[in-house]
Structures are given as structure tokens and as C-alpha cells.
């Protein structure tokens, strides 16, 4: 569809921008993709801004003078002189060979006077880099083009979903999970493991279409097997232990002996037995024992060390299936840290050994588990999440970090996320941070981030050839969060109250 004509001004058209005047009646929207010709083939860009002009209204003093008497429009054909200009940010050029597109950098701007057309949708699909069997996250804004992102390009080098609370992060993550669970074997199916902080993914377990592919484990039921407890793990949870060689080697000696007995003599031991054995140890002094015992008692009190591991990561992670670690029933911050740290370690190790399929590890509230600045507890999971960020790619462990506080998110982890999907953000600090850490976000784009509606997103980075705006699709799976809405809780309370009063009355 023809939209208008490229105009020439002092510096434009140049290789990064051009402007065009709209044909009368042409419908052009900000954000729309357009194409125009140059010697190099087609130049693609998006309408970054639209403004109107009219010679009759250019001189303030004469407009003011005239309008005092009567309306200018009553005497002159002002409507005929109105024009609309679209400012286009150039994204790149392409040579067209039949229906094939060969992309290149724009080295020459479009001709002044060239026709501007709405971008051809087949070209657009190729130009932004969508894949026919890609993950259908929604549609390209202003165009009838499905946003199908190539799974490998989107996930292999990790993904960050950044936005303020309520902008649609968890919704988008659910859409992403649906797409992964719906994938056909021949397209390559990965597994998904979700760290669900608010119990938002529970709907998958109740949805007939996804129920059989979903396993939910509640935070309080997650267990680390005693067999897998190592002095190194204890030291990570209780860094003080690592400071003292004597404590570390005492623990190490006792644990090794117990684990040898468990293996060779089929004995069952627990953390209680470990505590007892250290208490009884003759070789360690009280100075060594007391802090060690204090740490082990604390570890025992979390009730996370048990005879058998739960979930059984090696068995419970399957291609095209979802494992939800629902931590919404846990209050203890340190316990959550320990569980995420352990999970990340296990996923990495099992994947390295090839015992589980390639997977997506999706972490909600990621700034809590991979924070930029650490305090006493918040560093526990950080190293493990960063390790996946740095090395996961080689072993098919993809990370998806979701956060409403990108400023507080580990720079190391965030910088390894090669694709960012950004939804609405209004906090200036976060916005500034996103601008610095997301490749390809210019000033103009960062301004539009504050104006995004719920469900509108910008995708930048390795998943796409150029930054794009998309409308995230509706979800297919059941939306069910743990915890009822506030108004229902209030109503329930009052009804219960009334029932009690009635019961008392009936009794009297």
C-alpha cells in the first residue's frame, strides 16, 4: 500500500533517517513499518514520529491578528494546505530476489521523491527474523504479522523479561511456556523449570490441555537428599564455615565416612545423625564444633535435607514438560535462596552429564536471586544463577530472568541475556538502566517504554534483526493464581462472620 513520498530537507534523507509526506487520506500510524527504494534495493524503517504542518498557520502574529476578526478557515482553503509528515528511523536495507530478501546495512538513503509503501508483510517477516516454526508470542504492532520468534535465537543466549509490576511479565512467561509445551517433537522440544514465587503458574496444573505435562512441587516439599550434601554446599549456605579449615575438614571427614557407609553398607543417615557424630567426635575441639553445630542445626531447622530428593530432577524433567517449584508457601528468605541455589546447581550438573533434556530455567523475581549488591543471605543463589548465565549456553541450559527491578539485577547475569523483552516501565532509574543494558534502545524508544499498555512489548537483541514492538497474545492456558482476589476474601470473611453469629443465635 502506497503511503506517500520521500521529501528532502537540510540533512535528510540520510542513512539513518528519512521523512515522507503522506498522500491525502493515507492512514499511517506511529510505529508502522515502511519501505522505500534506493540504489541498494529497499530501505526499511519504522515511523518514529508523525507531525502536521500548514503554511496558513506558520506565522504566529498573523494567525493571531486574523483570528481576532474571524476564522482563517472561513476565508481560505486551509484544509487543502495541510500536510502530514512521517519521520522514519531506518532499520536497514535489503536486496530483493524474487521472494527472497538479502539484508545489509544501509549505505545509501532512499531517493527524495521515492514512493513510500507500507512494508510488504512477507519481507517484514524475513526482515525482522521471524521463523515459521517459531514461538508465537503475539503479533507485530500495526501489521497483520504473527510474531513467531525462533526458539534458539530467543532462548539459547538467555532472555530477560523486564517491566514494572502489573505490566504483563508473568502473562508473557505463561505464553512462552504454552508455546514450548505445544511444540512438536520434530521442531525440538525443551523442558521448562519455573521458580514460581507467587504461585502464579498453578493454572497449568488445572488446565486440561497442560495438566498431564505439568508437575508442581510446593516449596515445603522440596528436599535436598542427604546423600548429595557436601561440605562445599554447607559452606555456601554458611560462609563462616569456609573461613575455618578445621571446621571444614571436620565436617568433610565425618560426612565422607557417613556417605561411604550409606553407599557400601546401605545405611540410612540423616542430618540428625551428622550432628550427633560431630558432637561425639573426639578429634575436634569445642571451638571447632560449636559453630559447625550451630550451622548444621540451622540447616536442620529448614527441613530441606531429607533421605530422598524431591523433586527427582533427573526423572521429573522431561522434554516438552513443565516443572513448577512453587515457593509461594515459604516465608523464609534464606530457605528460598538455598532452594534456588541447589536447583540451579543440579540443573547445570545433570545437563552437563546429559541426564536431562535441554531446558529453560525461568526465574521470577530474579533480582532476589541474582542481585547486583549482596547482603548476608542474598548472595547464596547468585553465583549459581550467574554460572548458568555464563556457561549454560554450551550445555543447553537457557535462563529466563524476570524482574521488575532491573537496577537491582546482577549486571553479570543481565549482560549475558542476549534478548530483552521490555514491557511498561515508568521508574526513571529502571528506565535508565534498561537503556544502558539493552542493545538497540535509543532515546526515542526509551520514551515509548513509559507509554506501553499492558500486553505491549519491545523485543531487542539476538532474537530479532531489529528492535520490534509486539502485542503479546492472550493466553490459552487457565489463569489461576493461588490466593483469591481481595474482594472475594473480604466477602468470604463477612459471610463467615455472619454465619457464626447466626449459629450462636440458633444455639441460644
Ligand X SMILES: Nc1ncnc2c1ncn2[C@@H]1O[C@H](COP(=O)(O)OP(=O)(O)O)[C@@H](O)[C@H]1O
Chain residues that interact with ligand X, rule: CB under 6 A: 163, 165-171, 454-455, 472, 474, 479
Q: Which of 274, 271, 261 is nearest to 304 (CA)?
A: 271
Q: From ligand X, Mg ion, none, which one binds at residue 31 (CB under 5 to 8 Å depending on kind)?
A: none
Q: How far is the CB of 401 from Mg ion (least distance, A)?
A: 13
Which residue, 136 or 262, is less far from ligand X as judged by CB?
136
Q: For residue 101, which of 123, 117, 121, 120 has the smallest C-alpha distance?
A: 123
Per-residue x/- marks for Mg ion, 158-187, CB under 5 A?
Answer: -----------xx-----------------
Q: Which is nearer to Mg ion, 169 or 433 (CB)?
A: 169
**Among Mg ion, ligand X, none, what binds residue 231 when CB lies within 5 to 8 Å by partner kind?**
none
Cβ proximity to Mg ion: between 179 and 365 the closer is 365
The count of residues in the chain is: 508
**Which H or E run includes 159?**
strand 159-162
Q: Return the beta strands (E) in 249-388 as ranges.
A: 305-306, 322-326, 359-363
Buried b (16+ CB within 10 A) or exposed e, 237-246: bbeebeeeee
146-149 and 135-140 as β-strands: parallel, antiparallel, unpaired? antiparallel
Nearest CB to ligand X, comparing residues 86 and 455: 455
For Mg ion, the closer of residues 167 and 389 by Cβ is 167
Q: Which does 168 bind (CB under 5 to 8 A by kind): ligand X, Mg ion, none?
A: ligand X
Specify which residues 54 forms β-bridges with: 82
Question: Regarding beta strands 322-326 and 214-218, do their DSSP bridges make them parallel or antiparallel, or are they unpaired?
Answer: parallel
Count CA within 13 A, CB hemisphere, residue 16.
Answer: 2
Shortest distance (Å) from residue 430 CB to ligand X: 13
Query: Shortest gap between Cβ of 199 and Mg ion (angstroms)?
Result: 11
The CB-of-251 to ligand X minimum distance in angstroms stands at: 41
Residue number, 35 or 404, with CB nearest to ligand X: 404
Contacts of 13 (CB under 8 A, 6+ apart): 6, 19, 109, 110, 111, 112
> Residue 367 CB, nearest distance to ligand X (Å)?
13
Choose the one of Mg ion, ligand X, none that binds residue 163, judging by a C-beta under 5 to 8 angstroms depending on kind. ligand X
Q: Which is nearer to ligand X, 386 or 430 (CB)?
A: 430
Instruction: Describe the strand order of the beta sheet including 322-326 as a list of residue ranges.
Output: 146-149, 135-140, 468-472, 456-461, 419-422, 159-162, 397-403, 359-363, 191-196, 322-326, 214-218
Q: Which is nearer to Mg ion, 346 or 367 (by Cβ)?
A: 367
Q: Cβ of residue 354: shortest distance to ligand X, in angstroms? A: 34
State the minimum distance, in angstroms, from the CB of residue 170 to Mg ion. Answer: 3
Residue 47 touches which of ligand X, Mg ion, none (Cβ within 5-8 Å per kind): none
Instruction: Quote the least distance from Cβ 389 to ligand X, whole Å.
Output: 21
DSSP 3-state percent helix, strand, coil across the chain (nearest 5): 40, 25, 35
Query: Which of helix, strand or coil describes residue 318?
Result: coil
285 binds, among ligand X, Mg ion, none (CB under 5 to 8 A by kind): none
**438 counts as binding Mg ion under rule CB under 5 A:** no
Residue 381, contacted partner among Mg ion, ligand X, none, CB below 5-8 A by kind:
none
Q: For residue 302, what is its C-alpha cell?
A: 529448614
Question: Applying CB under 5 A, does 141 fall inside the site for Mg ion?
Answer: no
For residue 127, the 8-state DSSP code is H
- List residues near Mg ion by CB under 5 A: 169-170
Amino acid at each position: 500500500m502506497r503511503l506517500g513520498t520521500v521529501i528532502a530537507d537540510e540533512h535528510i534523507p540520510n542513512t539513518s533517517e528519512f521523512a515522507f509526506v503522506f498522500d491525502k487520506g493515507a492512514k499511517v500510524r506511529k510505529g508502522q513499518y515502511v519501505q522505500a527504494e534506493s540504489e541498494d534495493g529497499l530501505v526499511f524503517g519504522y515511523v518514529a514520529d508523525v507531525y502536521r504542518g500548514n503554511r496558513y498557520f506558520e506565522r504566529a502574529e498573523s494567525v493571531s491578528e486574523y483570528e481576532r476578526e474571524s476564522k482563517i478557515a472561513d476565508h481560505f482553503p486551509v484544509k487543502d494546505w495541510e500536510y502530514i509528515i512521517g519521520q522514519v528511523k531506518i532499520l536497514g536495507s535489503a536486496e530483493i530476489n524474487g521472494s527472497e530478501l538479502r539484508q545489509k546495512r544501509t549505505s545509501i538513503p532512499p531517493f527524495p521523491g521515492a514512493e513510500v509503501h507500507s512494508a510488504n508483510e512477507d519481507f517484514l517477516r524475513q526482515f525482522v527474523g521471524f521463523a515459521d516454526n517459531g514461538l508465537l508470542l503475539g503479533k507485530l504492532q500495526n501489521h497483520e504479522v504473527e510474531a513467531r520468534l525462533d526458539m534458539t535465537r530467543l532462548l539459547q543466549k538467555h532472555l530477560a523479561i523486564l517491566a514494572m509490576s502489573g505490566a504483563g511479565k508473568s502473562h508473557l512467561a505463561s505464553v512462552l511456556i504454552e508455546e514450548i509445551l505445544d511444540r512438536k517433537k520434530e521442531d525440538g522440544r525443551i523442558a521448562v523449570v519455573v521458580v514460581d514465587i507467587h504461585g502464579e503458574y498453578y493454572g497449568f496444573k488445572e488446565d486440561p490441555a497442560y495438566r498431564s505435562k505439568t508437575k508442581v512441587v510446593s516449596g515445603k516439599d522440596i528436599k535436598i537428599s542427604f546423600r548429595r550434601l557436601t561440605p562445599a554446599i554447607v559452606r555456601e549456605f554458611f560462609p563462616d564455615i569456609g573461613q575455618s579449615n578445621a571446621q571444614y575438614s571436620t565436617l568433610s571427614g565425618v560426612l565422607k565416612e557417613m556417605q561411604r557407609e550409606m553407599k557400601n553398607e546401605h545405611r540410612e543417615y540423616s542430618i540428625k545423625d551428622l550432628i550427633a557424630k560431630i558432637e561425639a567426635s573426639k578429634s575436634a575441639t569445642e571451638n571447632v564444633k560449636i559453630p559447625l553445630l550451630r550451622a548444621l542445626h540451622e540447616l536442620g531447622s529448614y527441613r530441606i535435607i531429607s533421605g530422598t530428593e524431591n523433586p527427582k530432577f533427573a526423572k521429573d524433567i522431561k522434554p516438552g514438560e513443565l516443572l513448577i517449584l512453587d515457593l509461594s508457601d515459604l516465608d523464609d528468605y534464606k530457605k528460598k535462596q538455598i532452594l534456588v541455589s541447589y536447583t540451579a546447581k543440579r540443573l547445570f550438573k545433570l545437563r552437563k552429564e546429559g541426564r536431562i533434556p535441554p531446558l529453560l530455567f525461568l526465574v521470577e523475581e530474579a533480582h532476589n536471586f541474582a542481585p547486583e549488591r549482596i547482603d548476608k543471605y542474598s548472595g547464596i543463589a547468585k553465583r549459581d544463577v550467574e554460572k548458568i548465565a555464563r556457561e549454560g549456553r554450551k550445555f543447553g541450559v537457557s535462563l529466563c530472568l524476570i524482574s521488575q527491578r532491573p537496577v537491582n539485577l546482577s549486571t553479570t547475569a543481565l549482560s549475558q541475556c542476549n534478548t530483552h523483552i521490555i514491557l511498561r516501565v515508568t521508574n526513571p532509574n529502571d528506565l535508565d538502566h534498561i537503556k544502558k543494558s539493552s542493545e538497540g534502545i535509543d532515546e526515542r524508544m526509551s520514551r515509548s517504554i513509559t507509554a506501553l499498555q499492558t500486553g505491549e512489548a519491545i523485543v531487542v537483541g539476538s532474537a530479532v534483526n531489529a528492535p520490534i514492538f509486539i502485542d503479546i497474545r492472550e493466553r490459552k492456558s487457565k489463569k489461576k493464581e493461588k490466593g483469591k482476589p481481595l474482594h472475594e476474601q473480604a466477602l468470604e470473611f463477612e459471610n463467615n462472620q455472619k454465619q457464626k453469629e447466626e449459629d450462636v443465635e440458633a444455639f441460644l
